[in-house]
């Protein structure tokens, strides 16, 4: 078992309390996100797979990913090489 001094124990308790406060504060937003997903699915606007794709697109935009470059890399990885692109030995 860990040998913690009283100061460390107090910091652990403080950390747990702060973490709980953060998670409690986030819960209404998590619920709002669940309701948003449910509403779009219930109305037939976006199914679960389409929602996942939209979230991925959002994350890419948020991280300022160059979508053209990402597509080029993706194409290079998933397309089999053509005879013109295969190097001869």
For the stretch 49-81, pLDDT in tens is 999 988 888 888 888 888 788 788 778 888 776
Q: Is residue 88 part of a domain?
A: no
12-29 per-position pLDDT tens digit: 999 999 999 999 999 999
Which tokens in the block code for residue 84? 């013109």
Decide: pTM greater than 0.95: no
Q: Domain count of the chain? A: 1
Q: Is residue 84 part of a domain?
A: no
CA distances from 42 to 5, 37, 45, 46, 57 (A): 54, 9, 8, 9, 22
Structural domain for 71, as ranges: 6-78
Output the pLDDT for position 89.
46
Q: Is residue 67 part of a domain?
A: yes
Which has more confidence, 89 or 58? 58
Radius of gyration of the CA atoms of the chain, in A: 24
Output the pLDDT for position 88.
52
**What's 83's DSSP letter?**
T
| Phi, psi of 51, deg, nearest 5 | -65, -45
Q: Is residue 83 part of a domain?
A: no
Output the pLDDT for position 82.
67
Q: Which contacts of 11-20 are long-range, i.e. CB under 8 A and separated by 24 or more positions?
A: none
Output the pLDDT for position 21.
98
Which tokens in the block code for residue 87? 């190097």
């Amino acid at each position: 078992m860990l040998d913690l001094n009283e100061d460390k124990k107090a910091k652990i308790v403080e950390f747990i309390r702060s973490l709980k406060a953060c998670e409690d504060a986030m819960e209404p937003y998590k619920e709002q996100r669940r309701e948003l997903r449910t509403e779009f699915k219930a109305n037939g606007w976006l199914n679960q797979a389409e929602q996942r794709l939209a979230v991925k697109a959002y994350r890419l935009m948020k991280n300022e990913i160059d979508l053209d470059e990402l597509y080029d890399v993706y194409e290079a990885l998933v397309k089999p090489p053509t005879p013109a692109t295969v190097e001869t030995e």
